[in-house]
Amino acid sequence: MARKLKGIAAARGVAIAPIVHFHAALDHIPTWKVAEADVGGEKARLSGAIAGVTTSLLDLQRELAGSLGNQDVRIYDAQVAILHDPTFRRDVEAEIEQRKVNLEVALQRVVARYEQVFAAMENPAMRERAADVRDIGRQLVGALLATEQQKYTANGSDYLFAADEFLPSDAGLLDRAHIRGIVTQHGGKYSHGAILARSLGIPAVVGIDQVMLESVTGTLAIVDGDAGIVILDPSPADLDEYERRLREQRAIDRRIAEVRFQPSVTPDGVPVQLFANVEGVRDLDALEVEAIAGIGLFRTEFAFMERRQFPTENEQVAMYRRAMETSRGKPVTFRTLDVGGDKPLGYFTMPDERNPVLGWRGIRLCLDWPDILYSQMRAILRASALGHARILLPMITSRSEVVRCREVLDQLTADLKATGVAFDPRIELGVMVEVPVLVPVLPDGLPVTDFLSVGTNDLVQYLLAVDRDNQRVAKMYDPFHPGVLRVLQQIAAAANAAGKSVSICGEIAGDHWFTPFLVGLGYRELSMAPVFVPRVKLMLRSFTLGECQDLATRAVAMQSTRDVRRLVQDEIQSRWVRQLGASEDSRR
């Protein structure tokens, strides 16, 4: 009987194959008391283990360099940095000296303490760094015990990797010719294991507590990395549906090369601008600027979070100039610092809040600490001399907040002009629509706003009162809810009536099943992770503007999420499949 397990979608795609259980835990960790005279010897063993694991990691990095993007291959640089972190080494040596325990035990204790620190962090991305420390500890102990790493294979057959978690060092043990998917009990979408799965093109679902108990090696399963589900012992109907999706994916992959650099337009010639979301300077290396209309969301907070202190104005200018240079004259939208909530700064003390996501974050923090806002806006202005820049304000709830930021921007531009410092005179100030209360008062704030960008990730979870990162309620997070569609319609109508541009920069912008609805609701700018741009371009070529408007009108009038999803299945998915099939037939 088929069983459906819900987890976290970590890497897109579909896979069908038997599950194979893998266990990476070391069977036995020796424990003994260390005499004072032998402490130096244990420290020497640590030096040898660090050198050996460093060599192994660099070898693995070289092996995977051809398969990973420039940014993702740096994951192994981060692991090497942990190995050679002087604080990490001092802590391990102190454990040996003070507790008189052998190196293997000292490593276990220090790694456990580090894990606890990371696990307590609010930021999901920082919480996932615990896995990196755990991976380093496992590799060091394995090197000390001279344990040969077991390859993750299924004797030359296709398989699904199932384990407690997928760590960066595991990537070198996979049989990449036959692995079809990854499913784990632990982990999150921000973990380095998940990032590697995405970069290697392996569908992955993580965070399924019961997967190892519910399955055995040899269990046939489906991994749906799009929806975040795993189906054990699938029914014939399940297999038919997912085999169809696999055929569809192969057709998409073939067509992506055809449309990657073509204009993003509907069949009747309506242009829809597709922008890229960027999480920091590192993302710029892999950006295909020819395939996009510009950078629709540059998340500046990641540059702040990677540092040990606030970056200076000049340091910020250098980062923002990189983005401007990469965009080659196309617009770049810089979101001002959006920390707080799930994105704390380690060097900036935040208050202890019961509900930090609804607390002191985003523009609230920056207006209370105006030096941060002044420095960042001035840096963006200076960098804007290289092209066309836009400034986006997060977590806005009222017109007065926009007016205060507008006053800061006007003062800074006047100062720069007076001192002869170049900047983009066309620079725009926009508002991120993510707080529901802002929607009904948009007409009040639009006169002092140049553009809108809808942050659907937060907007949807606030509208539905669902924490999308909470596994217990994540299944209730569904942007296809008719109420969500009606709010999106209201936002687009207000912006269009005022003659202001409006874009979507949340995850639904990159969901091609949502594309016809968004176009029909009045959106002509979509900003997404670059990997989704070709798929959205393909969908745009499947529906005319009139058809998009008809679909959106019908969806908005529906009374349940189930009805909207049925409309997607019956009319959007079916058209998509026919279009791909017709294209394949024409190639034969």
pLDDT band per the 50, 70, 90 thresholds, residue 118: confident
pLDDT at 276: 94
User: Over the stretch 406-423, which tens digit does the pLDDT of each residue have?
Assistant: 999 999 999 999 999 999
Give the DSSP H or E segment for 428: strand 428-433
pLDDT band per the 50, 70, 90 thresholds, residue 499: very high
pLDDT at 369: 83
Give Cα 232 to chain centroid, integer Å: 27
Structure tokens given for 176: 């990449």
pLDDT band per the 50, 70, 90 thresholds, residue 12: confident
Question: Which of 322, 321, 279, 319 is closest to 297 using CA atoms?
Answer: 279
Structure tokens given for 68: 């990973």
The residue with greater pLDDT, 510 or 522, is: 522
pLDDT at 120: 75
Among the listed residues 366, 405, 505, 548, the single catalytic one is 505
At residue 262, does pLDDT exceed 70? yes
pLDDT at 258: 79
The residue with greater pLDDT, 462 or 475, is: 462
User: Over the stretch 29-63, which tens digit does the pLDDT of each residue have?
Assistant: 889 999 999 999 999 999 999 999 999 999 888 88
pLDDT at 534: 87
pLDDT at 477: 81
pLDDT at 307: 66
Among the listed residues 192, 366, 512, 548, the single catalytic one is 192
Structure tokens given for 217: 């090696």
pTM given for the model: 0.70
At residue 184, does pLDDT exceed 60? yes
Edge-first strand order for the sheet with 220-224 is 3-6, 229-232, 220-224, 14-21, 159-163, 179-184, 204-206, 8-11
pLDDT band per the 50, 70, 90 thresholds, residue 11: confident
Q: Where are the domains of the chain?
A: 3-24+150-234, 36-144, 264-587
At residue 252, does pLDDT exceed 90? no
- Average of pLDDT values for 100-106? 94
As its CATH architecture, domain 3-24+150-234 has 3-Layer(bba) Sandwich (3.50)
Fold (topology level) of 264-587:
TIM Barrel (3.20.20)
At residue 9, does pLDDT exceed 90? no
pLDDT at 469: 59
Annotation says 192 is catalytic: yes
User: Over the stretch 211-247, which tens digit does the pLDDT of each residue have?
Assistant: 888 899 999 999 999 888 999 999 999 999 999 888 8
Going from the C-alpha of 421 to that of each of 384, 412, 542, the distances in angstroms are 11, 11, 47
pLDDT at 78: 84
Instruction: Give 429's contacts (C-beta < 8 A, 6+ positions apart).
Output: 390, 391, 393, 402, 405, 406, 409, 449, 450
Greatest mean pLDDT among 165-169, 374-378, 509-513 = 374-378
Q: Does domain 36-144 have CATH number 1.10.287.130?
A: no
Give the DSSP H or E segment for 295: strand 295-299
pLDDT at 295: 96
Structure tokens given for 15: 């896979």
DSSP 533-561: HHHHHHHHTTS-HHHHHHHHHHHHT-S-H
The residue with greater pLDDT, 206 or 474, is: 206
User: Over the stretch 126-141, which tens digit does the pLDDT of each residue have?
Assistant: 677 788 889 999 899 9
pLDDT at 367: 86
User: Over the stretch 366-395, which tens digit does the pLDDT of each residue have?
Assistant: 888 888 899 999 999 999 999 999 999 999
- Percent of the chain exceeding pLDDT 90 equals 58
User: Over the stretch 553-586, which tens digit does the pLDDT of each residue have?
Assistant: 999 999 999 999 999 999 998 888 777 765 555 5
State the SS3 of 277-290.
EECCHHHHHHCCHH
The residue with greater pLDDT, 150 or 324, is: 324
Helix axes 370-383, 313-327, angle to 10 degrees: 40
Are residues 543 and 575 in contact, defined by beta-carbon separation less than 8 angstroms?
yes
pLDDT at 95: 94
